[in-house]
Amino acid sequence: MTPPKFESIAPSAARLTESLRDIGYDFPAAVADLVDNSVSAGAEHVDILIEFSGPESYVLIADDGVGMSESLLTEALRYGTRRDYEQGELGRYGLGLKTASLSQCRAVTVATRTSIKVPRLYVRTLDLDVISESDQWVVSKPGREGLPQRALAYLTEGTGTVIVWEKLDRVLPERRPEGGWARRRLEAMAKRTTEHLGMVFHRFLEGTGGGRRLVITVNGEKVESWNPFAPGEPARTELPSQRFEVTIGGLSGTVRLNRYVLPAKEHFSAPEQFEYMSGPLKWNRQQGLYIYRADRLVQWGGWSGIRAIDEHTKLARASLDFDTDLDGAFNINVAKVRVTVPVQLRQMLERPINELCSRADEAYRKTARSTDKGTSGPSLPRQTAWRGPESPEAAAMKDAALALRAAAMQAGEYAAFLRIVEVLEKEAPAVAQDLGLGT
Ligand SMILES: Nc1ncnc2c1ncn2[C@@H]1O[C@H](COP(=O)(O)OP(=O)(O)OP(=O)(O)O)[C@@H](O)[C@H]1O
Ligand SMILES: [Mg+2]
């Protein structure tokens, strides 16, 4: 008899489930990954409860999506769910439900209902302590008794899914999980989660993503969308949008770029609005590319290696959209919070981004200058709107000037560049004008 050619090396459930807890989620990102699932399941409402109750505290994420059959539910709890995806679906790895949940807690229970008519629930629990003890990939079937009362309330009317996180070891402090500090910690997480969801799902909340409007609540409060491009601000400038056809490693698709210069503080409709639009990371670090995958924001702030963050360009923000057919090219990570802009695309983006930054810098400087001169009251925003088609020669001159400006910034010699422009404006105003450098 010939000896068998293969030996089974099934992973150790106990070891692997523990190590997969640390693949890059924080609390808000973990909740967002579950909201992705709700969106894919066609949900219109997602309610999140972060309930403080000492060591029994729990987090609940309930949606009114299509729910899962019993076999789908079991499959859903497998690391590496076996299934196919349609284009534009937010899921990709078959991992999120497990890895996101267990990055924050030791036990996740899923209750689901697929039929509007029949109030039948399927419930399964994935518990790290059970897996650890048995070293087996198993789920338990607790029945509805295993669920907090509030979870059941969500599934009395129609279809949907409720996820419950218990044994919140990564959320509650080890010492005194019943104390005031633990409570405040949970409250702070609820706040951060609200901000995070308002940003990453803003298109869904506004009804411009995914083909329907989504309503999310956190502890009963509606999550408001936070649109990084301040669409309601009249003094905002929008540059022409661009499309790039890219083919990278056998994958082809379209990437869209939309560019905006946000108004400087005195041109915002209200100072509070300016504060609000500064965003979670504040103006400087919120400048840059906002990368959307199938309408869901997956990366924000900074220029993805195209240029550095700079105080002068803090009013520049741009959206970059790709669809799931380019996932491989963008290297989306499991936690869906990081992508890599492919080198080929980065090169294509350089010019339009530098143009945007140059305009943002202009807007910033104008304000700084008028403030320096002590102008009383807000001056009118200088119209920086796109001026329409130019002759190729004029466009080439402006491009050259733009490249010079960008190079000066990159070389850290921007102040010197501005002094040169000032002299040029005095000595040869027509040339400065032709180069688009005049004020
Ligand atoms: N709220 C939900 N409603 C209906 N089905 C769900 C829900 N959550 C998960 N599922 C099912 O469980 C499967 C596994 O979910 P999981 O988040 O682990 O992986 P995924 O979404 O397929 O991929 P990714 O790892 O990128 O998130 C999903 O593909 C979906 O079929
Ligand atoms: Mg998922």
Indicate if ligand 1 lies below 6 Å from the C-beta of 42: no
For atom 28 of ligand 1, the residue with the nearest CA is 76
pLDDT of res. 262: 98
Give me Rg for the CA atoms of the chain: 26
Q: What is the pTM of this model?
A: 0.85
Look up residue 146 and give its DSSP letter. Answer: G
Indicate if ligand 1 lies below 6 Å from the C-beta of 94: yes
Nearest ligand 1 atom, CA 99:
18
pLDDT of res. 424: 83
Nearest of 322, 384, 313, 388 to residue 353 by alpha carbon: 313
Indicate if ligand 1 lies below 6 Å from the C-beta of 282: no
Indicate if ligand 1 lies below 6 Å from the C-beta of 277: no
Q: Tell how far the Cα of 94 is from the centroid of ligand 1, in angstroms.
A: 6
Nearest ligand 1 atom, CA 61:
1
Indicate if ligand 1 lies below 6 Å from the C-beta of 37: yes
Indicate if ligand 1 lies below 6 Å from the C-beta of 237: no
The ligand minimizing its distance to the Cα of 101 is 1
From 81, 84, 113, mutation site for ligand 1 pocket: most ligand atoms within 8 A of C-beta: 81
pLDDT of res. 243: 97
Domains and CATH numbers, the chain: 13-221 (3.30.565), 227-370 (3.30.230), 391-439 (no CATH)
Q: Tell how far the Cα of 84 is from the centroid of ligand 1, in angstroms.
A: 11
Q: Tell how far the Cα of 367 is from the centroid of ligand 1, in angstroms.
A: 49
DSSP per residue over 324-355, as a string?
GGGHHHHT--TTSS-----HHHHHHHHHHHHH
Neighbours of 433 (CB within 10 A): 14
Measured CA to CA, the distance from residue 76 to residue 95 in angstroms comes to 9
> Can you name the residues that pair with 60 across neighbouring β-strands?
49, 164
Alpha helices for 304-428 (secondary structure H): 327-330, 343-372, 392-410, 414-427
Nearest ligand 1 atom, CA 161:
1
pLDDT of res. 386: 36
Sheet holding 296-299, edge to edge: 237-248, 251-261, 316-322, 288-293, 296-299
**Are β-strands 45-51 and 215-218 bridged in parallel, bridged antiparallel, or unpaired?**
parallel
The ligand minimizing its distance to the Cα of 94 is 1
Indicate if ligand 1 lies below 6 Å from the C-beta of 95: yes
pLDDT of res. 378: 36
Indicate if ligand 1 lies below 6 Å from the C-beta of 45: no
Q: Tell how far the Cα of 98 is from the centroid of ligand 1, in angstroms.
A: 9
Indicate if ligand 1 lies below 6 Å from the C-beta of 183: no
Q: Tell how far the Cα of 231 is from the centroid of ligand 2, in angstroms.
A: 30
Contact 68, 43 (CB under 8 A): no
Indicate if ligand 1 lies below 6 Å from the C-beta of 327: no
Phi, psi of 217 (to 5 degrees): -125, 150
Measured CA to CA, the distance from residue 268 to residue 273 in angstroms comes to 7
> Can you name the residues that pair with 289 across neighbouring β-strands?
318
Contact 337, 298 (CB under 8 A): yes
Q: Tell how far the Cα of 214 is from the centroid of ligand 1, in angstroms.
A: 18
For atom 8 of ligand 1, the residue with the nearest CA is 37
- Mean pLDDT for back-to-back runs of 10 residues, the chain (439 residues): 88 96 95 97 97 96 98 97 91 95 98 95 97 97 87 93 97 91 96 97 95 95 98 96 92 96 96 95 96 96 94 97 94 88 94 96 81 42 38 69 70 74 79 71
Indicate if ligand 1 lies below 6 Å from the C-beta of 23: no
> Does an H or E element contain 132, and which?
helix 128-134
The ligand minimizing its distance to the Cα of 98 is 1
Show contacts of 139-145: CB within 8 Å, 24+ apart: 139/74, 139/77, 142/109, 144/111
User: In Å, what is the CA distance from 227 to each residue of 249, 278, 286?
Assistant: 33, 11, 12
